[in-house]
Structure formats: structure tokens, C-alpha cells
Amino acid sequence: MAKFWGVLLFLGCLPLLSVQASDRNVSYLDEVYSLGSVAGQGLACQAAKYDEYELLARAIMIGKAQNAAQQKEGIEQYNTGKVEAFMAMEDENFAACDEVNAEFNNQKIFKSTLYSDGRIKLYDGTMITPRKTYNAARLYEKDPDAFAKADAAYKKFIAEAEKNGKNAQKIELHDANYDKYSDQF
């Protein structure tokens, strides 16, 4: 049953990702939350294409933000989705990772092209141009310890929750790249 819920959570995000460019009814915040949720599952399952996904998802997030305030809110939604998905996978003892990895590594997003100035051409041909150009190479740096850091943050959160009677503070799972894109793009 746990395996079922992990796969369902992941597969539930995929429809939003597959219509992200064409369906204008999906709000920006819903879209970046979904992008973050899929990132959290990829991180939890240590997916082979996790780092590539992070780069592309962040480019979409930055490129679609209409202004700095919306981008800041989008970053928070992205990270919330990422944390919640990671925690859900950890709660299920990573039971669905084989299925998640199979789906994760074959997403349409990987057929997108990110240009050095921050523009991204999605798999369906849609071009997303950011409000201002930026060096896309600076958007994301691979962190070989990302899973270990997330796992430690999760375990600290659980220990705090148990100690404080389930009233733990919100878990922080900002990676080393968070400050790089939180206000610079």
C-alpha cells in the first residue's frame, strides 16, 4: 500500500508537468509547486537525471515569473513541494523508488533545451524567455551530498516533532543553490 501512494503522488504531478506549457489554466504557483514535488521525489530516489531536472525546472520557474515578487513566491512554493514530496517518500521508506525513477528519468522535460542566456525551449516547442537574461550556468550547481543533507534535515525534523509533541517548526530543505536564484534572476 505504501508503494502505491508513493507512485500515486509522483504520477499525480506528471499531468501538470505535461500540460505546463499549453494549459494556461494551470497557475504559476501550482506549476512550480508541481515541479518542486517531482524534484523532491527525484531527490528522495536519487534519480540519475535529478541534477538535470533541477536545472530545467528552475529555468522554467524563473522564466515564467512575471515579476520578482511572483518569483520569490514561486521559489517558496517550489521548495515546499520539494520538501513535502521528499518527506512523503521518506515516510514510505522509499518503497516506490524503482517506479519513480523509471518515470522520473523519462519525463518530457528532458527534451527541453536551456540556452546560456536563460531562455528555455520546451519539448513542445514553446519558448520561455525570462524577464531579464542571466547566465544559465550559474542557476544550479550539482551537490553530491544533496540526498544526505535532505535526509539529515528530515530526521532532525522528525526528532524535533517527537520531542515537541508534533509541533516542530517547518522543515528547511533549501539546497546550496537557493541563495543563488532566490533574488538574482
Cβ atoms of 86 and 47 closer than 8 Å: no
- Residue 151 corresponds to which cell in the numbers above? 535526509
Q: Please tell me the predicted confidence (pLDDT) of residue 171.
A: 53
Query: Do β-strands 127-128 and 113-114 pair in parallel, antiparallel, or remain unpaired?
Result: unpaired
Residue 16 pLDDT: 42
C-alpha cell at position 119: 531562455
Q: What is the DSSP letter of 138?
A: G
User: How does pLDDT run across 140-157, given as a tens digit for each residue?
Assistant: 878 888 888 888 877 887
Average pLDDT over residues 98-109: 95
- Model confidence at 51, pLDDT cuts 50, 70, 90, reads very high
pLDDT, mean of residues 38-57: 94
At residue 158, the pLDDT reads 74
Question: Which residue do the cell numbers 513541494 mark?
Answer: 81
Number of domains in the chain: 1
For residue 172, give the 3-state DSSP assignment. coil
Give CA separation, 55 vs 5, 31, 86, 92, 164, in Å.
27, 16, 18, 27, 37
Q: Which domain holds residue 95?
A: 2-182
The rounded distance, in Å, linking the Cα atoms of 53 and 59 is: 10
Query: Could you read off the pLDDT of 61-101 as tens digits, one per residue?
Result: 999 999 999 999 999 999 899 989 998 998 899 999 999 99
How many Å apart are CA 128 and CA 62, to the nearest integer? 9
Residue 155: the pLDDT is 80
Mean per-residue pLDDT, 41-55:
94
- Res 30 pLDDT > 90: yes
Name the grid cell of 36: 518542486
Between CA 42 and CA 49 the distance in angstroms is 8
Higher pLDDT residue, 67 or 5? 67
- Residue range 110-114: mean pLDDT, rounded: 96
The pLDDT of residue 147 is 84
| C-alpha separations of 132 from 97, 153, 172 in Å | 37, 34, 29
For 126-144, what is each residue's pLDDT tens digit? 999 999 998 888 878 788 8
Average pLDDT, the chain: 80
Residues across the chain: 185
pLDDT at 143: 85
